Structure 1
Amino acid sequence: MQTILGAGGAVGRALAKELTEFTGEIRLVSRSPEKVNPSDQLVSADLLNLSDTRKSVAGASVAYLTAGLRYDLDVWQESWPKIMQNVITACNEHDCKLVFFDNIYMYDENYLDGMDEETPVNPPSKKGEIRARIARMLMEAVDAGELTALIARSADFYGPNIKDTSMLTETVINPLREGKKANWLGSADVKHSFTYVPDAAKATALLGNTEDAYNQIWHLPTAGDPPTGKEWIEAIANELGVKPKYRTAPKFVVRLIGLFDSVMSEIVEMYYQYDRDYVFNSTKFEKRFDFAPTPYVEGIRETVKAERN
């Protein structure tokens, strides 16, 4: 039995499909879980509740924490440490290995061009501080011998059928498809990596089922030499058969919009990720598993194709 904690998101759903290569028993856990595979076991649970978390992990050999929270600093500060502690406690009690699907918010803003597993942890944002804290909680439990676990980190992600959880879909694909201008946060002249969700899911399943992958950090496979914002927009427009019209949002504009839009107000402190080259390196994973990430041109084609259907 392998269980996905927070199975309702884009990564959780894709991961459920990939895990069928390794196990016939998959448990999907969320507040309102829905089957991905016919044989999936569904458990309704709140990971903020330790009893629910124990129930979700019981009998599983591997748990994948892919949960996402509302993009709100107060929610993150209140909920993420509780969720991580509950998951660590439950996995320890049930002798269950843990795979944590993480992002890169904890990395030093001066080292985003070529991020790898050794990039300095020095979060420049409050959300980054929370991500650093929960990653540290996990690795301290590993170091103390209380847990067998690994961290799988992804860049911003994109892919077919992930809709409102993908910045690229929301700000570029959907507007262009509707005959509007794309919206690019920050400079359109800097490079920006995106991890292709099908690759991330396949890699996460592989890591979870590889004994010597545990007790370390992995960057999930992501194509190298990413396009600039302008090149992303041009490639997507080309697939859609429309003109690559776009506008950029400088930081002062994001801050102004944030006065009226709660999501944009939360993005202000993360603006540093969009005003410089953001290049994600997954060489460690690629070499260990002989894995070639999906090229951007192919990922864009498949993502746009899914949006048309």
Structure 2
Amino acid sequence: MQVILGAGGAIGKDLAKELKHFTKKVRLVSRNPQKINENDELFPGDLTDTQFVEQAIKGADVAYLVAGLPYRVKTWNQHWPVIMRNVITACKKYKCKLVFFDNMYLYDAEKLSPMIEETEVNPPSKKGRVRAQIAQMLMHEAENGNLKALIARAADFYGPGISNSMFNEAVVKNLKAGKKANWFCSVKYKHNFTFTPDAAKATAVLGNTENAYGQVWHLPTVQAQTMQQWIEATARELGVEPKTMVVSKFLIGVLGLFNPLMREMKEMLYQYDRDYEFDSSKFETVFKMNPTSAKKAIKEIVGAL
């Protein structure tokens, strides 16, 4: 049996579909889990509750921590270390392997092109410092032989039917509605995105590959291109003009006075004012799995609207 912790999010749903190829039973853990496969076990509860996490992991061979928390520094500081500690403790108790689905926020802002698994950890943001803290907690246990664990790391998301993707919300949906595609700082810099179905498939493969443990893996991610190219490709698929509005740092600062999300975005703008190239060649070489092309991914995203 394998268990998904945070099963209701963008990755959890696709991961449940992929895990049926590796295990007869999948346990879905979230506040309000919904069946993806016919024989899924639903396990509702709160990952900040130590006893609940122990029960959620009991009996599992592999646990996938793919939870997402509200995009607020205060929430991340309060809950992420607790969740990671709970999951590590339970996995050690029941000899369960752990796969942590992570992002790139912990990397040095001056070394985003390219980002590889060995890129220096030097988070420039408060949210990045939280991610660095919990990743270090996990790898410390793995390196000391206390736990079989790995980190599966993704770039920014895009994918069909997800609502927490900047690309989906600011580019695809705006263009489809006849509005301008919005982006931060500039559209001249390179950026790339991890397609959620690719991320889920690769995460399932990693969790079921014994010699993948003890390592960090970048999940298959399409080659970077300028945001202007991304916007033009999306406009072509939609059959509209590639109109664009660039939101400046100054404007985001002003909007942050009134909009909580913009306030949280301010410290993350370093990701948009320089090239952002997430390299997944290690995974692609080892597992012979290439990312879905940008053209095909955009087509699927548009088709799901």
Question: Structure 2: which amino acid aligns with 1:298?
Answer: K
Partner of 1:78: 78
Can you list the C-alpha shifts for 1:189-238, whole angstroms capped at 9, x where unaligned? 001110011110000000000000001100000112x2211111111111
Question: Structure 2: which amino acid aligns with 1:198?
Answer: P
Which of 212, 215, 234 is equivalent to 2:232? 234
Partner of 1:34: 34
Can you list the C-alpha shifts for 1:35-88, whole angstroms capped at 9, x where unaligned? 011110000010100001001100000000000000000000000000000000
> For 1:92 and 1:242, how far apart are their aligned partners in 2?
53
Question: Secondary structure of the equivalent of 1:195?
Answer: strand
1:21 paired with 2:21, answer: yes
CA deviation after TM superposition for structure 1 residue 165, in Å = 0.9
Partner of 2:142: 142
Partner of 1:9: 9
Partner of 1:126: 126
- Please give the residue correspondences for 1:158-177 in structure 2 after superposition, counting only pairs within 5 Å: 158-162=158-162, 164-177=163-176
> For 1:113 and 1:87, how far apart are their aligned partners in 2?
32
> For 2:290 and 2:135, how far apart are their aligned partners in 1?
27
Question: Structure 2: which amino acid aligns with 1:292?
Answer: N
> For 1:241 and 1:55, how far apart are their aligned partners in 2?
51
CA deviation after TM superposition for structure 1 residue 144, in Å = 2.1
> For 1:134 and 1:252, how far apart are their aligned partners in 2?
32
Question: Secondary structure of the equivalent of 1:115?
Answer: coil
> For 1:81 and 1:182, how far apart are their aligned partners in 2?
36
Partner of 2:200: 201
Partner of 1:223: 222
Question: Secondary structure of the equivalent of 1:280?
Answer: coil
Moved more, 227-236 or 102-111: 227-236
Question: Secondary structure of the equivalent of 2:304?
Answer: helix
1:305 paired with 2:303, answer: yes
Question: Secondary structure of the equivalent of 1:165?
Answer: coil
- Please give the residue correspondences for 1:239-250 in structure 2 after superposition, counting only pairs within 5 Å: 239-250=237-248
> For 2:220 and 2:168, how far apart are their aligned partners in 1?
20
> For 1:222 and 1:41, how far apart are their aligned partners in 2?
31
Identity in percent: 56
> For 1:26 and 1:13, how far apart are their aligned partners in 2?
11
CA deviation after TM superposition for structure 1 residue 122, in Å = 0.4
Partner of 1:284: 282
Question: Structure 1: which amino acid aligns with 2:188?
Answer: D
Aligned length: 305
> For 1:97 and 1:293, how far apart are their aligned partners in 2?
26
> For 2:89 and 2:13, how far apart are their aligned partners in 1?
25
CA deviation after TM superposition for structure 1 residue 246, in Å = 1.2
Question: Structure 1: which amino acid aligns with 2:195?
Answer: Y
> For 1:55 and 1:177, how far apart are their aligned partners in 2?
45
Can you list the C-alpha shifts for 1:243-289, whole angstroms capped at 9, x where unaligned? 11110011111111111100110000000000000001001100100
> For 2:31 and 2:133, how far apart are their aligned partners in 1?
25
CA deviation after TM superposition for structure 1 residue 298, in Å = 1.2
Partner of 1:259: 257
Question: Structure 1: which amino acid aligns with 2:259?
Answer: D
> For 1:293 and 1:135, how far apart are their aligned partners in 2?
25
Q: Which runs of 5 or more residues in structure 1 are unaligned?
A: none
CA deviation after TM superposition for structure 1 residue 297, in Å = 1.1
Normalised to the residue count of structure 2, the TM-score between the two structures is 0.99
CA deviation after TM superposition for structure 1 residue 305, in Å = 1.3
> For 2:59 and 2:25, how far apart are their aligned partners in 1?
11
Question: Secondary structure of the equivalent of 2:151?
Answer: strand
Partner of 1:93: 93
Normalised to the residue count of structure 1, the TM-score between the two structures is 0.98
- Please give the residue correspondences for 1:43-122 in structure 2 after superposition, counting only pairs within 5 Å: 43-122=43-122
CA deviation after TM superposition for structure 1 residue 175, in Å = 1.0
> For 2:149 and 2:208, how far apart are their aligned partners in 1?
12
CA deviation after TM superposition for structure 1 residue 136, in Å = 0.2
